Structure 1
Amino acid sequence: MCGIIGVVAQTPVNQLLYDGLLMLQHRGQDAAGIVTAEGHVLHMHKGQGLVRDVFRTRNMRSLMGNAGIGHVRYPTAGSASSVAEAQPFYVNSPFGIVLAHNGNLTNDKQLKDEMYRTDLRHINTNSDSEALLNVFAHELSSRTKGPQLDPDTIFDAITAVHQRVKGAYGVVAIIAGYGLVAFRDPFGIRPLVMGRHETLAGHEYLVSSESVALDTLGFKMWRDVEPGEAVFITFEGQFHCRQCHPTPKLVPCIFEHVYFARPDTVIDGISVYEARMKMGERLADKVTRVLPEMDIDVVIPIPDTSRSSALQLANHLGVSFREGFIKNRYIGRTFIMPGQATRKKSVRQKLNPIGIEFQGKNVLLVDDSIVRGTTSKEIVMMAREAGAKKVYLASAAPPVKFPHVYGIDMPTRGELIATGRNDVEIAHEIGADAVIYQDLDQLVAACCDASGGRITEFETSCFDGKYIAGDVTDAYLDALEAKRISPLSKKFKEGDGDSRVLDLNIGVAEQNLI
């Protein structure tokens, strides 16, 4: 999972992009990058680490121009230890294109082979995002006649991209000298929203993974980029869009609402906060069935994502809601840290229990989901050490039993605690008195309710093993797991100096504009 942002404005966008990436930092902590467009020159700076660490004043001053894109990365494919994997990626033909991608392609191996053997393009990294960029560049090049470029040519190229590429993708790109391009996969698995801002000089546009970036940057939420749709905004502010897939269908990833997106975000018209509240209501019904004796003294959320669900659950059960854990805000999200050892070590640095909320009580802990179980085991142990008599653990999501191949870092079946275990065995494994999982149909119903009935189907493959794109086989999953036994799972070393950043001014030859 990553965060992407693109802006076309009337004034310099470097600060807008930086601030927007800060709002999307929860979507990726491994690397960050910004590219701005100044006429026919692209200015790039990217590096490993948090946004605040990658960009300094001198870097910001070099990012000149009134349009640009940005990216925060968390590794799902490629190498987490190389700055070469940081986005955006750049190709110089045709015109000069930079691209940032949120999601994961499931046929990237095939694409890379086609690039080499048929399209005669060189892929320099293991990243599927670079493969996606080169597919787009090739399709655009094959349709371009002469130095001019028009919206129809761009949309025709993206139509061809949809035909060749499989998986999940939300994309923002800059074509030097022309404008900003954004498009979304035909199922709308990964989110992509648009906002507008009116100025005396004309409209400004912002495209982002989440609406929270629009809110904080002064843009009004306009609408989502539709599944299969492409958007092209010229540097002069002219807006163009087209549906580029013959049979699009909105089937968004439900894990955005369970865990990944910020609660103040709206995706596909669904308030993430409202969806989580409804998850808590339905989870309360499940808890009542599983624990009919209701010997629960207090409901305690595991900060932060589960707080909305836990509060509503407590209200429906008529049980006290308490904050039992204090979170260290300077420790990253453990779910997206590479490597089990790093993840396990960070849990106790991240959370500390308040003893009086546990001492002598039967506690119901509420989490958004249980994936590997490593964090859950540590937290249950902390609750017992703080004096809890009984510790129950409720999950707002069903058991995660299958790899998520569309951009979330849980691809190895052996890492998933629910694989091959029932609820009793999972409770024993993590040291809880009982584990209560939400039922999948109830999770889907909660999100459907939050959508007002407009969305009836969600991408739920990590719970039921049904992959919406239809091309994921056991052989594919085996290969993906083998790929992860590599330096990908090793966290990059801190303090590598200049080897951890890339700063470029990319000159592009003069072209005729639209």
Structure 2
Amino acid sequence: MEQVRADQAEPEPLESEPREECGVFGVWAPGEDVAKLTYYGLYALQHRGQEAAGISVSDGKQIVVFKDLGLVSQVFDEQVLSSLQGHVAVGHCRYSTTGADTWENAQPVFRTTSADTGLSLGHNGNLVNTHELHERARELGVVERGGATTDSDLLCGLLAHAAADRGIEAAALDLLPDVRGAFCLAFADETTLYAARDPHGIRPLVLGRLERGWVVASETAALDIVGASFVREVEPGELIAIDTDGLRSSRFANPEPKGCVFEYVYLARPDTVIAGRSVHATRVEIGRRLANEHPAEADLVIPVPESGTPAAIGYAQASGIPYGSGLVKNNYVGRTFIQPSQTIRQLGIRLKLNPLREVIRGKRLVVVDDSIVRGNTQRALVRMLREAGAVEVHVRIASPPVRWPCFYGIDFASRAELVAGGADLDGIRRSIGADSLGYVSLDSLVAASEQPASRLCAACFDGRYPIPLPDEELIGKHLLENLGSDGSAESWSGKPSQLPTSASGYGAEDAVRRP
């Protein structure tokens, strides 16, 4: 099959939702089919990133990495998985929050640490001192590998460079205190699985137990799907190492918990548990509080599926307004490499959602959604519901207004593009064409999570960033691509014919690109 290049990929999504981040999965389990365990773990985490997927596996002697653009089910098949034999695996599903959506930036990333050791790494989150780390790497002679332009590859390069002298575990304990931003890492050499979480614990990362091994994953739902029992969360500022000697835990920083509250709103699966709190239960409670804060006279409460469903249930329970399904979602409209025609593009949201006219005709509707980012989706949705016969459309949002971009791993729009960035409530209501509009308050959102406000990051709502940000020109999705243009780092032009056919015997990604 011909390799799909980045310039063949689809244009910007039609919807204006936050576009997720990434999912990581790692397993150490001698005697188990770790490639298939990782495949199913990534399948459970697919909602966190749909641009690319990859798995690295080690048999104790060499690491083999297979990755490609596309969904997990598009990248892997039985033949590929059966070729990935070993007892240590790292998996990753990606949405590009740093660096372009290209094959070179897919993960796990791979580096050699010395003449006889390899390192594969998967990363969820965004670093905020990337420029500083890039300068350090340049001084050390650590350059971007194979055209990669991500903070993840930069981090892997620095870690591999330091590990050449002192080993990966000691190198990580030395390097990670200097890394600022959000990072949940699953990484491995030929024999050992490692996991680490930034001192603020902004993104979730959990530890699970198999009968014959251990698992780390971005969400508890991924543990469930592979039959692993939940042990605990990886603590903020903690490094875990798992090998034949068992599990070791070290601290590289004092914890200052600031978990992302948006995980409860949208990012995590509803069947996941974060900090001991069910995401589904949180969303239902948000809906109840939303009904109390913003009541409406209406005939029916309908969700924008699927992320608005639990909050809509809660809204209906608290308001006494009947709950119904007024929109049908096409669950098979995900990332595709087939570009829609102009005619199809004009249908916009109907590619994903279609109204049940007999349910909503003549009704006053409360429409519950998880968030509003640019407002494009809600604007098209309100119009569609009115065309289908709705008498009134009252929009209720299960999060506060998104006024600030995220620099910790969610690809929100810039502040200028955020509909709430420069408009008041009535201005947003008029922009989307609703009869009324209500957002849940930040206090109610925090209360629904059952976490102390002091342990949560709500920067996208209140602009209070727990990790200081650098100057504007030193942060951004394409920072490393811009830095690379000055000739200070080696780069690769991306032509398939220039790829080597082997990688020093380590089965690095160059050696396993799909032919």
Q: TM-score range by the shorter chain?
A: 0.7 to 0.9
Q: Describe the SS at the equivalent of 1:413.
A: coil
- How many pairs does the alignment contain? 465
Give matches, 1:6-405, under 5 Å: 6-11=26-31, 12-80=33-101, 82-94=102-114, 95-117=117-139, 119-124=140-145, 125-142=148-165, 144=166, 149=167, 154=169, 156-176=170-190, 178-198=191-211, 203-234=212-243, 236=244, 238-245=246-253, 247-288=254-295, 294-332=296-334, 347-405=349-407
Question: C-alpha distance in 2, partners of 1:267/1:220?
Answer: 15
Q: Describe the SS at the equivalent of 1:64.
A: coil
Q: Describe the SS at the equivalent of 1:168.
A: coil
Give 5+ residue unaligned stretches, structure 2: 1-20, 483-493, 508-515
CA-CA distance at 1:242 after TM superposition? 1.2
For residues 169-203 of structure 1, give each alpha carbon's deviation from its aligned partner in whole angstroms, at most 9, with x where no partner exists: 00000112x300100000000110010022xxxx4
60-69 or 23-32, larger mean C-alpha shift: 60-69
For residues 252-310 of structure 1, give each alpha carbon's deviation from its aligned partner in whole angstroms, at most 9, with x where no partner exists: 1111110011000112222111111111121111113xxxxx42111110000111111
Cα separation, partners in 2 of 1:504 and 1:277, compared to 1, 3 Å? farther
CA-CA distance at 1:507 after TM superposition? 2.9
Question: C-alpha distance in 2, partners of 1:419/1:481?
Answer: 22
Q: What letter matches 2:56 in structure 1?
A: V
For residues 349-395 of structure 1, give each alpha carbon's deviation from its aligned partner in whole angstroms, at most 9, with x where no partner exists: 11110012211111110001111111111111111111111111111
For residues 104-155 of structure 1, give each alpha carbon's deviation from its aligned partner in whole angstroms, at most 9, with x where no partner exists: 11111221121012x221113211110111222233334x1xxxx5xxx71x
Cα separation, partners in 2 of 1:85 and 1:343, compared to 1, 3 Å? farther
Q: Give the structure 1 partner of residue 11 of structure 2.
A: none
CA-CA distance at 1:508 after TM superposition? 5.2
Give the conservation status (yes or no) of the 8 Å contact 1:44–1:504: no
18-27 or 54-63, larger mean C-alpha shift: 54-63
- What is the aligned counterpart of 1:467 among 455, 465, 468? 465
Cα separation, partners in 2 of 1:282 and 1:507, compared to 1, 3 Å? same
For residues 386-437 of structure 1, give each alpha carbon's deviation from its aligned partner in whole angstroms, at most 9, with x where no partner exists: 1111111111100001111111111411221111101100011111111101
Q: What letter matches 2:226 in structure 1?
A: L
Question: C-alpha distance in 1, partners of 2:347/2:135?
Answer: 40
Question: C-alpha distance in 2, partners of 1:220/1:72?
Answer: 22
Q: Describe the SS at the equivalent of 1:92.
A: strand
Q: Describe the SS at the equivalent of 2:467.
A: coil
Cα separation, partners in 2 of 1:317 and 1:172, compared to 1, 3 Å? same
Q: What letter matches 2:63 in structure 1?
A: L
- What is the aligned counterpart of 1:431 among 426, 430, 433? 433
Q: Describe the SS at the equivalent of 1:414.
A: coil
Give the conservation status (yes or no) of the 8 Å contact 2:97–2:477: no
Question: C-alpha distance in 2, partners of 1:275/1:362?
Answer: 27
For residues 190-223 of structure 1, give each alpha carbon's deviation from its aligned partner in whole angstroms, at most 9, with x where no partner exists: 110010022xxxx410000011111111110111
Give 5+ residue unaligned stretches, structure 1: 289-293, 486-495, 510-514
405-414 or 359-368, larger mean C-alpha shift: 405-414
Cα separation, partners in 2 of 1:269 and 1:139, compared to 1, 3 Å? farther
Q: What letter matches 2:230 in structure 1?
A: M
Q: What letter matches 2:43 in structure 1?
A: L
Cα separation, partners in 2 of 1:456 and 1:106, compared to 1, 3 Å? closer
Q: What letter matches 2:405 in structure 1?
A: P
Cα separation, partners in 2 of 1:482 and 1:187, compared to 1, 3 Å? closer
Give the conservation status (yes or no) of the 8 Å contact 1:194–1:224: yes
Q: Give the structure 1 partner of residue 442 of structure 2.
A: 440
Give aligned-pair identity as a percent: 38
Question: C-alpha distance in 1, partners of 2:460/2:372?
Answer: 12
Question: C-alpha distance in 1, partners of 2:317/2:302?
Answer: 12
Question: C-alpha distance in 1, partners of 2:155/2:346?
Answer: 34
For residues 220-242 of structure 1, give each alpha carbon's deviation from its aligned partner in whole angstroms, at most 9, with x where no partner exists: 011100000010001x2611111
CA-CA distance at 1:481 after TM superposition? 8.6
Superposed CA RMSD in Å reads: 2.7
CA-CA distance at 1:157 after TM superposition? 2.6
For residues 429-479 of structure 1, give each alpha carbon's deviation from its aligned partner in whole angstroms, at most 9, with x where no partner exists: 11111110111111111112xx5x6x75211111111111123455556x5
Question: C-alpha distance in 2, partners of 1:502/1:284?
Answer: 59
Q: What letter matches 2:162 in structure 1?
A: E
Q: Give the structure 2 partner of residue 458 of structure 1.
A: 456
Cα separation, partners in 2 of 1:108 and 1:325, compared to 1, 3 Å? same
345-354 or 220-229, larger mean C-alpha shift: 345-354
CA-CA distance at 1:347 after TM superposition? 2.0
Cα separation, partners in 2 of 1:238 and 1:168, compared to 1, 3 Å? same
Question: C-alpha distance in 2, partners of 1:61/1:497?
Answer: 28
Q: Describe the SS at the equivalent of 1:312.
A: helix
CA-CA distance at 1:505 after TM superposition? 7.2
Runs of 4+ aligned structure 1 residues displaced above 4 Å come to: 341-346, 472-477, 479-485, 496-499, 501-506
Question: Are residues 1:2 and 2:22 paired?
Answer: yes
